Amino acid sequence: MFSQVTKNFAGHEVLHSLSFSLKVGRGLAILGPNGAGKTTMIRILMGVLMPSSGSLSVFGQPISTSAFESKKKIGVVIEEQNFFLDMSAWDYLSLFGELYEVRNSASRALSLLKYMELYDARHKKLKEYSTGMKKKLNIIQAVLHSPEILILDEPFSGLDPLGISLTVDLLSNLRASETTLVISSHILSEIDGIVEDLMLIDNGVVKAYGPKEELWRSFGGNCLMNLTLQEANPEGIKALKNLPEIISTEDSSGLEYLFLITGDEFCRKRISKTILDNNLQVSHLSFSEPSVKMIYEKIMGTGFQSKEVI
């Protein structure tokens, strides 16, 4: 979708030669410090800004000439949304539904208003809405037409904890229906379950891009294995501890163990084989996958300073 995209402002290069393609039906988080170029990248993806060089296409068409029919397949949540403040939320969604020719627009709008807890305020004028209420309405508008791609720039800003929880649940449901998500957010803890891929950028340059687990392993990350036995088996545990994939072990009771292991798929297969070969009677076995925050800190380090937002 992006091919060698560069963006300059007043002679300053904000994005440098970005190339990537969205993976249909997956969730992508675009992460980086303030001023890294995330918002500029999102705006180019939306078609609000044009690249200084390179090309961008959506559904096989250049974004500059993309037909309205193609743009109708995209939903957008932005940090600062402009509304017709003298309209009610209901009238606003009705107008949007008519413009985008949404089937069953009224029933879908009512359902989303109830879900996001705006139903009782649907006839209030938008100038009476709080920042959080406006953000909820922006989210409803963005998904009203069931877009194939949903682009979200700081979707949780302005929301209270309940609003964040409702938004995360809504996005999780959309992911289950294979809607493609593109999210830029500083609240990393809320996107763990709704994105599979990460793009980390700084100073307009991509530092890392790919599936979460692959990035974690490629940058030397390890994972945890929780093991609980039905009965003690010291010799079997010793065999596990002797595997080269086991970095360290914590024994809490003789039955419950916490292993730090290298994080590749083949490692898990060798561990499973060792468990079977040594007749370890397992009542619980789980692997703790790295969080988005862990991956971000692993790749970006701890010394990154916030930069001026562009």
User: What is the number of structural domains in the chain?
Assistant: 2
Q: Is residue 145 part of a domain?
A: yes
pLDDT over 70 percentage in the chain: 94
Secondary structure (3-state) at 137: helix
Residues 40 and 65 in one domain: yes
Residues 103 and 229 in one domain: no
pTM (2 d.p.): 0.81
Residues 203 and 273 in one domain: no
Residues 243 and 100 in one domain: no
Is 46's pLDDT higher than 50? yes
Q: Is residue 301 part of a domain?
A: no
Residue at which a domain ends, from 186, 215, 244: 215
Whole-number CA gyration radius for the chain: 23
Helix axes 265-277, 234-241, angle to 10 degrees: 150
Q: Is residue 272 part of a domain?
A: yes
Q: Is residue 89 part of a domain?
A: yes
Domain with 245 in it: what CATH number? 3.30.70.920
* Sign of the alpha-carbon torsion through 131, 133, 134, 138: positive
Residues 208 and 226 in one domain: no
| pLDDT score recorded for residue 309 | 29
Q: Is residue 308 part of a domain?
A: no
| pLDDT score recorded for residue 65 | 56
Domain that holds residue 194: 2-215
pLDDT over 90 percentage in the chain: 60
Residues 209 and 229 in one domain: no
Residue 155: enclosing H or E segment and its boundaries? Answer: none
| pLDDT score recorded for residue 62 | 76
Secondary structure (3-state) at 203: coil
| pLDDT score recorded for residue 56 | 83
Residues 63 and 160 in one domain: yes
| Contact yes or no for 266/245 (Cβ under 8 A) | no
Residues 48 and 136 in one domain: yes
Other CB atoms within 10 Å distance of the CB of residue 232: 12
Domain with 80 in it: what CATH number? 3.40.50.300
Q: Is residue 278 part of a domain?
A: yes
The mean-pLDDT minimum among 14-18, 43-47, 203-207, 277-281 falls in 43-47
Query: pLDDT-derived band of residue 305, with 50, 70 and 90 as boundaries?
Result: very low
Residues 176 and 80 in one domain: yes
The distance from CA 11 to its chain's CA centroid, rounded to whole angstroms, is 31
pLDDT digits (tens, 9 = 90+) for 115-131: 999 999 999 999 999 99
| pLDDT score recorded for residue 49 | 87
Q: Mean pLDDT score of the chain, rounded to an integer?
A: 88
| pLDDT score recorded for residue 304 | 36
Residue at which a domain ends, from 215, 230, 259: 215
Q: Is residue 298 part of a domain?
A: no
Residues 273 and 132 in one domain: no
Q: Is residue 274 part of a domain?
A: yes
Across the strands, what pairs with 7?
15
Cβ within 8 Å of residue 299, ≥6 positions away: 200, 207, 208, 215, 219
pLDDT digits (tens, 9 = 90+) for 60-87: 777 665 566 777 889 999 887 788 899 9
Residues 53 and 188 in one domain: yes
Residue 113 or residue 288, greater confidence: 113
Residues 63 and 48 in one domain: yes
Work out the angle at residue 43's Cα, subtended by the Cα atoms of residues 136 and 103, and round it to the nearest 5 degrees: 50
Cβ within 8 Å of residue 128, ≥6 positions away: none
Is 198's pLDDT higher than 60? yes
